[in-house]
Structure 1
Amino acid sequence: MRRHTITPRPDWQRIVEEQGVVYPLTRYPDDTLRPYWDESAYYSFSLPEVEALEEVVEELHELCLDAAAFIVAEDRFASLGITDRRVAELVADSWRRRAEQPSLYGRFDLRYDGTDGTPAKLLEYNADTPTSLVEAASAQWFWMEERFPRADQWNSLHERLVDGWRKQAHLLPPGPLHFAHSEADELGEDLMTVAYLRETAEQAGIATTALSVEAIGWDELSGRFVDEQLGFIRACFKLYPWEWLVTDRFGEHVMDTLDNGGGTGTTCWIEPAWKMLLSNKALLAILWERNPGHPNLLPAYLDGPRELATTGGYVAKPLLGREGAGVSVHEAGAAPVVRTDEPCCYQELAPLPDFDGNRVVLGAWVVGDESAGLGIRESAGLITDEYARFLPHIIT
Structure 2
Amino acid sequence: MKRIEIEERPDWQQTAEREGFDFHTIGGERYWDERAYYQFTEEQITKDIEAPTQELHAMCLDVVERVVDSEELLTRLAIPPAFFDLVRTSWKEGHPHLYGRFDFSYDGVNPAKLLEANMDTPTSLYEAAAFQLIWLEEQIARGVLPAQASQFNSLAEDLVRAFAAIPPGGRFYFSAMSGSIEDRGTTDFMRKMAEYIGIETRHIDIEDIGLTPEGRFVDLDGQWIERIFKLHAWEHVFHEPNGQAIPGCDTQFIEPAWKSIISNKGILPLLWELNEGHPNLLPCFVDKDPRAPVAKGWVRKPYFSREGANIEIRTPGDQVIFEDGPYNDAPYILQQFAPLPRFGDSYTLIGSWVIGDTASGIGIREDDSLITKDSSRFLPHVVLG
Contact 2:366 2:372 in 1 (8 A): yes
Distance in 1, Cα, partners of 2:140 & 2:281: 34
Q: Is the 8 A contact 1:309 1:332 kept in 2?
A: no
Q: Deviations over 1:295-348 (max 9, x none)?
A: 000000003499x966x61111110010000000123486x9xx9864111100
Partner of 1:261: none
TM-score by length of 2: 0.91
1:272-287 equivalences in 2 (<5 Å): 272-287=256-271
Aligned position for 2:323: none
CA contact (8 A) 2:4 2:38 kept: yes
- 204, 215, 219: which is aligned to 1:211? 204
Q: Within the alignment, does 1:57 sit opposite 2:53 as a pair? A: yes
Aligned to 1:224: 216
Give 2:153's match in structure 1, choosing from 152, 155, 158. Answer: 155
Seen in structure 2, the aligned counterparts of structure 1 residues 184 and 81 have a Cα distance that, compared at 3 Å, is farther
TM-align CA RMSD: 2.1
State the 1:251 CA deviation: 1.6
Alignment of 1:106-117 (within 5 A): 106-115=100-109
Unpaired runs of at least 5, structure 1? 28-32, 258-265
Alpha-carbon spacing, 1:140–1:333, altered in 2? closer, same or farther (3 Å): closer
Give 1:192's match in structure 2, choosing from 162, 165, 185: 185
Please report how far the alpha carbon of residue 190 of structure 1 lies from its aligned counterpart in structure 2 after TM superposition.
0.6
Q: Which residue of 2 aligns with 1:354?
A: 342
Q: How many residues align?
A: 368
Whether the 8 Å contact between 2:37 and 2:381 is mirrored in structure 1 is: yes
User: Residue 132 of structure 1 aligns with which residue?
Assistant: 124
Deviation at 1:386, TM superposition (A): 2.5
Aligned partner of 2:370 in structure 1 is 382
Q: How far apart are the structure 1 equivalents of 2:84 and 2:215? A: 23
Match of residue 262 from structure 1 = none
**Would you say 1:178 and 2:176 are equivalent positions?**
no
Q: Contact 2:301–2:310 (CA<8 Å) still a contact in 1?
A: yes
Distance 1:246 1:305 in 2: 25
Shift of 1:387: 2.5
Amino acid at match of 1:349: F
CA distance in 2, matches of 1:39, 1:323: 22
| Deviation string, structure 1 residues 92-123 (Cα, Å, up to 9, x no partner) | 2212122xx221000010010002xx100101
2:11 matched to which residue of 1?
Answer: 11
**CA gap 1:305/1:62 in 2 versus in 1, 3 angstroms:** farther
Whole-Å Cα distance in 1 between the matches of residues 332 and 18 of structure 2? 40
**Identity of paired residues, percent?**
42
C-alpha distance in structure 2 between counterparts of 1:156 and 1:309, whole Å: 40
CA contact (8 A) 1:378 1:391 kept: yes
> Are the aligned partners of 1:166 and 1:205 in contact in 2 as well (CA < 8 Å)?
no
Q: Closer, same or farther in 2 for the Cα pair 1:248/1:161, shift >3 Å?
A: same
TM-score by length of 1: 0.89
Residue 21 of structure 1 aligns to a residue whose secondary structure is coil
1:1-396 → structure 2 map (5 Å cutoff) = 1-27=1-27, 33-52=28-47, 53-75=49-71, 76-82=73-79, 84-98=80-94, 101-115=95-109, 118-149=110-141, 150=147, 151-168=149-166, 170=167, 172=168, 174-185=169-180, 188-220=181-213, 222-257=214-249, 266-304=250-288, 313-332=297-316, 342-396=330-384
More deviation, 314-323/148-157: 148-157
Using the alignment, how far apart are the partners of 1:180 and 1:254 within structure 2? 16
The CA deviation at 1:246 is 2.3
Q: Give deviations 1:138-197, integer Å, cap 9, x for gaps.
A: 0000000011351111100000000111122x2x4x320111111142xx0111110110
Structure 1 residue matching 2:258: 3-state secondary structure: helix
One-letter amino acid matched to 2:14: R
Instruction: Tell me, yes or no, if the aligned pair for 1:20 and 1:134 is still in contact at 8 Å.
Output: no
Specify the SS of the correspondent of 2:68. helix
